[in-house]
């Protein structure tokens, strides 16, 4: 070993030692990264579907029209209000009748928000009154108190609907209410008059 050491100049051995230390250091630095890379795996098909469904649960799509700066279709958080939709669409124009719209109303998926110009409100009020009578409660957006306004739903059934919605996700159709404990097919038929999915 001594003969081998004396065979090469000291600077060669110094270079070999530095190269060895660099190699060990590089390997130590790379090992955590490689294990981290192994942990990052692409989402499975099921996880992708769940991710898309969770995103859908968190947003609603609304159509904002009338006396606003940027009319259009917008995707807004599921707990949003009409005021949020107006803000996203650029706000009111100078002609908008701001008193004719309920800014605190909760948004519903596929909702149409029409902001009337000053003077147009009286013309539309009769049509709106009849629409409000026919307007159904969205079972995917309703609170316990909203559901209790529906004939045939008391506090227990309203709570069961919300519990089911939280565990199983949004109702695709009103018929899915049959899956809720304590609600049968006959009840669901009656509820179709008042509820929508």
- Res. 36: pLDDT tops 50: no
pTM above 0.95, yes or no: no
Q: Confidence class of residue 129 from pLDDT cuts 50, 70 and 90? A: very low
Q: Which residue has the tokens 């596929």?
A: 110
What average pLDDT does range 87-94 have in this prediction?
93
Stretch among 35-39, 52-56, 153-157, 160-164 having the lowest mean pLDDT:
35-39
- Res. 43: pLDDT tops 80: no
Q: Confidence class of residue 101 from pLDDT cuts 50, 70 and 90? A: confident
Residues 6+ apart with CB under 8 A from 139: 147, 161, 165, 171, 174, 177, 195, 196, 197
> What is the C-alpha to C-alpha distance for residues 26 and 105, in angstroms, rounded to an integer?
60
> What's the mean per-residue pLDDT of the chain?
80
For 114, the enclosing helix (H) or strand (E) is strand 112-115
- Res. 145: pLDDT tops 70: yes
Q: Confidence class of residue 34 from pLDDT cuts 50, 70 and 90? A: very low
Sign of CA dihedral 175, 82, 56, 111: positive
| Residue 4 confidence (pLDDT) | 57
What average pLDDT does range 141-170 have in this prediction?
89
Q: Confidence class of residue 170 from pLDDT cuts 50, 70 and 90? A: confident
């Amino acid at each position: 070993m001594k003969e081998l050491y004396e065979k090469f100049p000291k600077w060669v051995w110094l270079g070999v030692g530095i190269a060895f230390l660099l190699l060990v250091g590089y390997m130590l630095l790379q090992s955590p990264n490689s294990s981290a890379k192994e942990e990052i795996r692409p989402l499975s098909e099921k996880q992708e579907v769940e991710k898309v469904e969770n995103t859908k649960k968190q947003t609603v799509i609304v159509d904002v029209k009338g006396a606003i700066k940027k009319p259009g279709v917008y995707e807004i958080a599921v707990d949003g209000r009409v005021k949020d939709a107006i803000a996203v669409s650029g706000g009111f124009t100078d002609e908008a009748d701001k008193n004719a719209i309920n800014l605190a109303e909760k948004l519903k998926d596929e909702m149409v928000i029409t902001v009337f110009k000053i003077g147009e409100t009286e013309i539309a009020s009769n049509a709106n009154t009849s629409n409000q009578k026919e307007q159904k409660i969205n079972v995917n957006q309703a609170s316990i108190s909203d559901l209790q306004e529906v004939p045939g739903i008391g506090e227990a059934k309203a709570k069961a609907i919300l519990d089911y919605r939280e565990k199983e996700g949004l109702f695709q159709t009103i018929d899915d209410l049959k899956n809720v404990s304590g609600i049968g097919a006959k009840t669901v038929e009656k509820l179709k008059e008042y509820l929508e999915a």
